[in-house]
Amino acid sequence: MNPRWIAFFRIAVGIFFLAQGLNKLEWLNSSEFLKTNLERYAVNAPPVTQWYQLHVAQPGIEAWTRLIPTGEILIGVSLILGLLTKASLWSALALVVNYHITTGKVFSLQFFSDPYALLLAGSLILLLSSNPSSALALDAAKRPGKKK
């Protein structure tokens, strides 16, 4: 695939993550929104989701409410700039998987009805399998042997 298209795609995904993080800035002051969502997700949740929420999400809710928006913002900026691209893509994929385990959607057909689920996961996998820092990226500028 053309490196410019990959760069465009990387930047678009970065803008998505940046917007998601900026929409969650209020989480930095209160964990109530996340607590409410966890309670809603727990209704009729599969056993794996219930276990995950009980042992991972709820005990660390204060940390999660700060890590999620901060991580989304950092991932977004990193992808837009093309800096630490592979690490950012892996972190983004971890956030996406965490979200879908927490909601329980990954274990049901609801996963396929979520407009972001397949598109975002597929986009991240595509970018990971390509060379996302080959064009319009700070990663490309710092590669050894690269002429300036």
Q: Which two tokens stand for residue 98?
A: 């965490």
List CB contacts of 7: < 8 A, sequence separation 6 or more. 82, 132, 134, 135, 136, 137
Q: Which two tokens stand for residue 65?
A: 């409410």
Q: Is 49 within 8 Å of 107 (Cβ atoms)?
A: yes
DSSP state of 55: I
Q: Which amino acid is at 133?
A: S
- So what's the pLDDT on residue 144? 61
- The per-residue pLDDT string of the chain (148 residues; one tens digit each, 9 = 90 and over) reads 788 888 999 999 999 999 999 999 999 999 999 999 899 888 888 888 899 999 999 998 999 999 999 999 999 999 999 999 999 999 999 999 888 888 888 777 777 777 778 888 889 999 999 887 777 788 876 656 555 4
Q: Is 3 within 8 Å of 72 (Cβ atoms)?
A: no
Q: What is the pTM of this model?
A: 0.86
Query: Burial level of 46, CB count in 10 A (0-12/13-18/19+)?
Result: middle
Q: Which two tokens stand for residue 91?
A: 């972190």
CB neighbours of residue 23 within 10 Å:
11
